[in-house]
Chain A
Amino acid sequence: MRNTWEGDVHLPLLIEALGKTGYMVSLTLLIGGLLGLALGLALYATRQGSLLPNRAVFAALNVIVNIVRPIPFIILIAAVQPLTVLLTGGYIGTERAVIPLAIATMFGFSRIVEQNLVTIEPGVIEAARASGAGPWRILGTLVIPEALGPLILGFTFVFVAVIDMTAVAGIVGGGGLGNFAISYGFQRYNTEVVWVAVIVIIVLVQLVQLLGNWLARKALRR
């Protein structure tokens, strides 16, 4: 192999890597996104003056999020390894890489969810309460639709961050575009391969961002 892009060698590898990245990103966003949404709702609901105010629960959740969120992802992978082993019996592989990915996503997204929900006008919540709706109903039927536009933009932001993190997940055998760039490009002094991987990632991020912006605009009707 020379230090250049060779379609017949690299293209199948690239496609496989793209598939793995897509797989990891989708699974991560599904699990981490849902858990993050739930955690964000819990943070929003339990704060003072909100729908289910509970000082103790809010303080506990807040501390946990503040502890987990700043951990650099590469260290988080190592830190949650025991959990990964406990849940899946090992720690190497694409699916297993999803566990630290989903955890990082959950905690990151929860803050974004919380921040967007607190911007809902209190009067809107009050109007729902005045019509006889209980706190759980309001959380379930009103809060997310009212903040949907910003939530989609926040989710798009997380989506892009997850693509970034999956590249790092390559080190635990996650595979994917990051792993492709490192293994076939960087470690073999093949700059062209690195650049192809970079361009694919850029295009992917652009597409995700465009889709996110379009959906958010639809949600906001602007």
Chain B
Amino acid sequence: MAAIVELHGVTKQYRVDGKDVTALDGIDITVERGEIFAIIGYSGAGKSTLVRLVNGLERATSGRIVVDGTDVSGFTERQFLRVRTGIGMIFQRFNLFRSRTVAGNVAYPLRVAGWPKERRDARVAELLDFVGLLDRAYSYPDQLSGGQQQRVGIARALATNPSIVLADEATSALDPETTQDVLDLLRKVNRELGVTVIVITHEMEVVRSIADRVAVLDSGRKIEEGSVYEVFAHPRTDTAKRFVSSVVHNEPNAGDLERLQGRHEGRIVTARVGEDGRLGAVLSDVARHGVRFEILFGGIGALQQRAFGSLTLELTGSDAGVDAVIAELRAITEVKEESR
């Protein structure tokens, strides 16, 4: 795969009340063509600034930015106008033009790009069909629900056939069900049109449901980056762990553990369930060591089409027997023994 957006040592400083505030600090990120890349962080982490560097709505203080093979680091505002035609953007609050109809909103970037009227009309119809709003072409944004407004936002972002779409908290103002619809639509944009999507979010659920890779941003620094599976399975930093635990509920928290330990005498271990699914093979054979097991807690779901989850087990038997079982489990997966 080839890189479509590259950030090398990008730094952004603001001057606030005579003092320099560092919003982004030495960011290196490479987004591959055709992927959905998520940037997650708490508010104030600098992610909105970061995504705006790509289309020049904000300028880096230092560092190099390459978009679709062109180094845009030193571009003027005028030079960026051309770049922006090839990059769509969708927003948390939709930012539709209230004075224009749905069709007028979608047509705006086409007017800017100088498309003649017949081609423009055909393209608007095609886009509204794609987002499922052909029947609302002559409605005004105020007359639409939040989810519909974001669909218009997506159609507008796609108007000029961009190779990149930037989604800045695109689902944060929507209810959970509508969020899923909009995420499905973004996935469709990515899969069917081959558009690279860069998603900015503070919701790990968004990352889990659509992203291929994710970078974790904290106080202007990139603290973690990897495939979504990797980061979910092995979060290295506390921030990443907090994000993962916000959507992964199959591991018992401190309160759950206390309750479990109050009720169960045996030793408690939590084993990760991966794609190979050999946990059952080991468990079906624990009697060999004079050990019994009980499943106390856990869950198994899918992440990027791979099994992902964990089971918390009570193992009862002689210490030596339980040790032997834990060793067998450790041979096939990660196991954590919960201390009493």
Does A124 contact B97, Cβ atoms closer than 8 Å?
yes
Taking chain B's interface residues, is the majority helix, strand, or loop, or is none over half, making it mixed?
mixed
Given the complex of chains A and B, what is the CA–CA distance between A169 and B108 in angstroms?
46
Say whether A130 contacts B97, CB under 8 Å. Answer: no
CB distance B93 to A130 under 8 Å?
A: no
Q: Is A148 an interface residue (CB 8 A)?
A: yes
Contact with A along B73-84 (1 / 0, CB 8 A): 000011001101
Q: Does A188 contact B (CB under 8 A)?
A: no
Closest B residue to A130 by CB, please name it: B89
A146–B100 Cα distance when bound, in Å, is 8
Q: Does A30 make an interface contact (CB < 8 A)?
A: no
Docked CA distance A134–B85 (Å): 11
Complexed CA–CA distance, A132 and B82 (Å):
6
Q: Is B156 an interface residue (CB 8 A)?
A: yes
A89 at the interface (CB under 8 A from B): no
In contact, B89 and A134 (Cβ under 8 angstroms)? no
The B139-173 residues at the A interface (CB cut-off 8 A) are 140, 142, 153, 156, 159-160, 166
Candidate in B55, B108, B166 with the most chain A CB atoms within 10 angstroms:
B108
B232 is an interface residue with CB less than 8 A from chain A: no
Which one, A123, A132, A141, contacts B95 given CB within 8 A?
A123
Most buried by A among B55, B81, B87: B81
Assess the A131–B57 pair: CB atoms within 8 A.
no
Q: Which of A130, A134, A148, A221 contacts B57 (CB 8 A)?
A: A130
State the CA gap A129–B153 with chains docked (Å): 14
Please, how many angstroms separate the alpha-carbon atoms of A148 and B98 in the complex?
10
Instruction: State whether the Cβ of B243 lies closer than 8 Å to any Cβ in chain A.
Output: no
- A124–B95 contact, CB under 8 A? yes
Cβ A127 vs Cβ B78 within 8 A: no
Q: A197–B283 Cα gap in the complex (Å)? A: 101
Interface residues in B83-112 by Cβ distance below 8 A to A read 84-85, 87-89, 91, 93, 95-100, 108-109, 111-112
Q: Chain A residues near B89 (CB, 8 Å)?
A: 127, 130-131
CB within 8 Å for A132 and B81 given contacts A126-B57, A127-B91:
yes
Q: Are B109 and A121 in contact, with the CB atoms below 8 A?
A: no
A-B complex: 8 closest residue pairs judged by Cβ atoms: A131-B109, A145-B99, A127-B95, A123-B95, A130-B89, A132-B84, A132-B85, A133-B112
**Known contacts A124-B97, A130-B57, A134-B78; 7 further A-B pairs (Cβ under 8 A):** A127-B91, A127-B96, A127-B97, A131-B84, A132-B81, A133-B108, A134-B81
